[in-house]
Homo-oligomer: A and B are copies of this chain.
Amino acid sequence: MSIKLTILGCHSATPRINAFPTSQYLEINNRHFLIDCGEGTQRQLRKYKVGFSKINHIFISHLHGDHFYGLVGLLATFGILNREKELHIFGPKGIKEVTLLQLKVSQSHVKYNMIFHELSSKKSELIFEDDKVTVSTIPLNHRVYTNGYLFKEKEKPRKLNMLNISGYPAIDRADFLNIKAGRDVVLTSGEIVPNSTLTIDPPKALSFAFCSDTIYKPDIIPIIKNADLLYHEATFLADREDLAKKTKHATTKQAAEIAKQAMVKQLVIGHYSGRYKDISVFKKEAQEIFENTALAEPGEIFSVNE
């Protein structure tokens, strides 16, 4: 079980020479997701050698330009690359109309099927599930309707402890599914063999929470509790809490406070305001509250393996 997060862009507001708006590429349990798609994302995907064809699901947090102006270009490029696989796009209500109108006026005739999943609920909901992964929304509070996303690996069945099992000749292969599911075995003698003797723990199911953009919102803590990796926006340094509140963004210390209270394993912060030239202070401030904090930077990769 593993998580690999590639930062494609992590700055706020306007693209600049070395500042790319939000986009992340997430590999989790062999699923490949794109999260947000600011202008220039497709170029960043190429720069960091992400295979375009691997992406089948795109999650857009909100419809501010720095989180979705790169979407239509990417969709058009998929068309130019003769994509045929269907593509799922999750995002706030309105994303479908604006995207399809852009593709229509630019006469981008794509062959693949685009399936829009428009979100409008203000409660956390399960929006994607397959045999390996689930994705749920994390309702955030920003100037426009915004969701974070919680990506979770599914629990794997327990692993058979074949050495121990071989000590019980009465246990048959037919019992294995029950044992993997965590059940004890009752032998014909009436003896109960506890599951803990017959199995070992499976690799831990990992989770990644993406939270951007948002004001400091402690009520998301139960949703992201114990996440292995948390990306939380930190647009401002701690001394501009007033401005963060006004613009519905978070500060370094607020992001760290969320990480601490949610007891996540690692925090990554980003979405730095363009006013800051030196972002190293962001890390220092957050670490005063939550030690295991890292800075998002384009091309940076964060991996968790179990």
Contact = CB atoms under 8 A, between A and B. Distances in A.
A68 B14 contact: no
Interface of A: 13-17, 39-40, 42-43, 46-47, 63-65, 68-70, 72-73, 76-77, 80-81, 94-95, 97-98, 101-102, 105-108, 143-144
B65 A106 contact: yes
B43 A16 contact: yes
A10 B16 CA distance: 19
Given A14-B77, A40-B15, A65-B72, A105 B98 contact: yes
A299 to B, nearest CB: 12
Q: Indicate how many identical chains form the complex.
A: 2
Contacts of A63: 105-107
A43 B206 CA distance: 37
Given A98-B101, A98-B105, A144-B107, A17 B40 contact: no
A94 B105 contact: yes
A101 B80 CA distance: 24
Contact of A40 (B43, B68, B80): B43
Given A69-B72, A106-B69, A14 B42 contact: yes
A121 B130 CA distance: 52
Contact of A101 (B47, B101, B108): B101
3 pairs of A and B residues whose beta carbons are closest in the complex: A14-B77, A39-B73, A65-B106
A63 B102 CA distance: 9
